[in-house]
Structure 1
């Protein structure tokens, strides 16, 4: 009976100890982020009262990440990729500690907080992505990416609703401080767990120039990088505007938590179904469907973003993201795996990928900041959401001609 249950949920995938450890570490990270990251934006907005201020905080973060990825890559090559992941978690604990210590004056440190967040994300995700590439194989990547998304969705279900309840029940900003402290503790737990992972030093010096040259010579890799730029173009403003709109519409942390619970519940089911049943031959169809849904969902909210319409939007994108991201990330790693000297330059290729994503995010937020200076907020934000939201729709045309090796089908 146990074998039947295992096979239903996991199929015939062979799961290693390191793969399990990486999933658990990613799960702890996801819970911590789900608890606090949403509410950091609200906490800072309540102090500043301006979307411009939150956009500046986000810009500081995404502009720091390219340098952070470069430094993390140097650490991964000289010492170990696990050290990069651990340092990222340590910096994120410093971020939450700074928010706690700043208290009601946190909005005076927007740039510093953004820089800390960007450094933490850069070091963490470089280490995590390198480990993902090393630990997974072509036949396990859809499972890993899907199950990682499933854990993230589960964290998104329990995190915001729990945080919203705590913040609503406790007086003034005490609830925020409790939630930020819990995130701090969860990051420490992730560091401790990482001590059990096997060390493996990458070979050779950091050679980013060689990876950049691959962009010029390898059409498949070039198309993948362009598609990541488009992904970042959409993510740049959507990652915080929707959260702010939900809170502005309801003026309730509990309502924001409920939004996270419902949308993450749908996403949880979506990631399970996609990771379990999506065939490799159907990857591109899934990417097309997911990207189109993400784009068309925008039209539900740009005219009158009521709580009901925002919830409907959230449900639609929660169906779309698993369809897009699971095959999209697997395709990315498959193309990377076939790149010139992929084993030797895996760190450099991942740095290049993240640079393209962050270039999209930076452009997105810069357009918002300039737009807010020139136009009314009520006009420019919906316009930019349509223009930038189209990024997800154009991912498919960009990667359509990327060939998936027959050995993976």
Structure 2
């Protein structure tokens, strides 16, 4: 919202996010090579350090941030690339098929707890100050927390991977492993929704309410429902129920977008937030667990786990880039203030389409060993 308040330009915000989604997968490839040759904890620490530099840069450029939207997005994408590569690899290594649903559910609980408190506190602080002072306070706090995270990372044990970085070999594995090919197409579909939704919904809510605190309340409702259902899904969803859960939640998330078509009031937006908060955990937990299962049963997964995660990220961000390109194309013909809900309806089917890519995945069948 900081960039939006400075520029009031949908294109600037879209290009900012586009630069994130272009640089993030490219950084994943570089980070994957580093993780193989150096150490995953070093990669994690690099990501956190770059993310702290992002907030420091925002503090330095201040009210000129919108002028540097592409540079800031690129910096954030690089930070995300290093951080999420290490995070995803470590998650894959410490979980098993029997524990992944619980782990992902518990992780979602922690993320939702932060989602309940962070945006509401930020909205309160921003609403109490004039101009950009509130945002400066928030970015300063964020910078301090990332510096703390860098210091904490020195307490992690170093974990070096073995072997050469074989990115092309795992890309080609799509031709040999139908399950791997299906899950990658599902990630394009996932990214197609996320690319636009991750920024456009917040803008839409702000346009209706003109108040950061109201946006914080929306996030409180969304994260509160997510907090509860991440906890419940981690207990309820078993491997045999994953596909049904993905279908039900994907359909519900898509139908909930209709609320944005007819809603111009805060109560209906809060209902949308509650629905999304209920069904996103129901989709995310079994879907991510299924993804890790497919990787775990793929060819040479032990040695090539980093490459599998890098390729998955490449397909996910391909979907995100396609989504933003559709958004930019649409707003060149339709006034965003009236066309935004219809754009969200177009890209919002991404999560529903996930089911049709994963429904035939057979996680019980082990992949044949190939040379």
Counterpart Cα distance in 2 of 1:256 and 1:93: 24
- How far off its partner does 1:221 sit? 0.8
- How far off its partner does 1:354 sit? 0.3
Report if aligned partners of 1:264, 1:318 keep a CA contact under 8 Å in 2.
yes
Which segment is superposed worse, 191-200 or 114-123? 191-200
Q: Which residue of 1 aligns with 2:64?
A: 105
Of 227, 238, 241, 2:197 maps to: 238
Distance 1:137 1:119, change over 3 A: same
Is 1:252 equivalent to 2:211 in the alignment? yes
Counterpart Cα distance in 2 of 1:173 and 1:381: 26
Q: Which residue of 2 aligns with 1:289?
A: 248
- Deviation per CA, 1:67-100, whole angstroms, max 9, x where unpaired? 1101110110110111111111111111111111
Instruction: Return structure 1 stretches of 4+ with deviation > 4 angstroms.
Output: none
Q: Secondary structure at the match of 1:404?
A: coil
Of 304, 310, 317, 1:358 maps to: 317
Q: Which residue of 2 aligns with 1:347?
A: 306
Q: Which residue of 2 aligns with 1:56?
A: 15
- How far off its partner does 1:376 sit? 2.1
- How far off its partner does 1:198 sit? 1.9
- How far off its partner does 1:138 sit? 1.4
Report if aligned partners of 2:180, 2:295 keep a CA contact under 8 Å in 1.
yes
Normalising by structure 2, we get a TM-score of 0.96
Q: Which residue of 2 aligns with 1:142?
A: 101
- How far off its partner does 1:375 sit? 2.4
Q: Which residue of 2 aligns with 1:131?
A: 90
Q: Which residue of 1 aligns with 2:43?
A: 84
Counterpart Cα distance in 2 of 1:369 and 1:263: 27
Q: Which residue of 1 aligns with 2:183?
A: 224
Counterpart Cα distance in 1 of 2:267 and 2:65: 31
Report if aligned partners of 2:24, 2:80 keep a CA contact under 8 Å in 1.
yes
Counterpart Cα distance in 2 of 1:217 and 1:384: 36
Report if aligned partners of 1:287, 1:327 keep a CA contact under 8 Å in 2.
yes
Normalising by structure 1, we get a TM-score of 0.87
Counterpart Cα distance in 2 of 1:398 and 1:406: 17
Report if aligned partners of 1:232, 1:358 keep a CA contact under 8 Å in 2.
yes
Counterpart Cα distance in 2 of 1:52 and 1:307: 25
- Deviation per CA, 1:363-400, whole angstroms, max 9, x where unpaired? 00011111112222245423321221111111111101
Is 1:403 equivalent to 2:362 in the alignment? yes
Counterpart Cα distance in 2 of 1:139 and 1:193: 29
Q: Which residue of 2 aligns with 1:95?
A: 54
Structure 2 unaligned regions, length at least 5: 367-371
Q: Which residue of 1 aligns with 2:369?
A: none
Report if aligned partners of 1:161, 1:254 keep a CA contact under 8 Å in 2.
yes
Report if aligned partners of 1:291, 1:392 keep a CA contact under 8 Å in 2.
yes
Is 1:185 equivalent to 2:144 in the alignment? yes
Of 148, 157, 167, 2:126 maps to: 167
Counterpart Cα distance in 2 of 1:387 and 1:243: 17
Counterpart Cα distance in 2 of 1:302 and 1:51: 19
Q: Which residue of 2 aligns with 1:372?
A: 331
Q: Secondary structure at the match of 1:374?
A: coil
Which segment is superposed worse, 189-198 or 175-184? 189-198
User: Cα RMSD (Å) of the superposition?
Assistant: 1.3
- How far off its partner does 1:361 sit? 0.3
Report if aligned partners of 1:245, 1:305 keep a CA contact under 8 Å in 2.
no
Which segment is superposed worse, 222-231 or 385-394? 385-394
Q: Secondary structure at the match of 2:165?
A: coil
- How far off its partner does 1:171 sit? 2.8
Q: Which residue of 2 aligns with 1:337?
A: 296
Counterpart Cα distance in 1 of 2:318 and 2:266: 31
Aligned residues: 366
Structure 1 unaligned regions, length at least 5: 1-41
- How far off its partner does 1:52 sit? 1.5
Of 273, 280, 297, 1:314 maps to: 273
Q: Which residue of 2 aligns with 1:24?
A: none
Q: Which residue of 1 aligns with 2:350?
A: 391
Which segment is superposed worse, 277-286 or 53-62? 277-286
